[in-house]
Amino acid sequence: MDSGDKKEFAHVAEILTEIRENTASPWWRMVLNGMLYGAGAVTGTVLAIFLLGYVLSLFGVIPGFEDMAARLQNIVNSKM
């Protein structure tokens, strides 16, 4: 290995170090991304289940869904 190769390797090492420093996420960003991903997954699942239950209740597949919704609405109204 001659000095030209060593200089080239040093230059490549510098560039790789700069790339890593500019693209490395801090730990708190990874934690926040994980929490937001989890919250989005839970919210999406709840909405999908709710919409599926609503559509099935319209077709009469789930007969007690309207009664349950009315009871929940009465509970909410009585608490206010």
Residue in this structure with the two tokens 């693209």, named with its chain if needed: 23
Q: Name the one residue in this structure whose structure tokens are 């200089």.
A: 7
Per-residue confidence band for 27, with pLDDT thresholds at 50, 70 and 90: confident
Mean pLDDT, residues 58-72 taken together: 74
Say which residue, 1 or 45, is predicted with more confidence: 45
Taking alpha carbons only, the member of 4, 26, 7 closest to residue 15 is 7
In a 3-state reduction of DSSP, which class is residue 79?
A: helix
Boundaries of domain holding 40: 3-79
- CB crowding 62-76: b at 16 or more within 10 Å, else e: eeeeeeeeeeeeeee
**pLDDT at residue 65 in the model:** 67
What mean pLDDT do residues 43-56 have? Answer: 89
What is the domain count for the chain? 1
* Cα–Cα distance for residue pair 1/18, rounded to 1 Å: 25
Summarize pLDDT for 67-80 with one digit per residue, the tens. 777 887 888 888 77
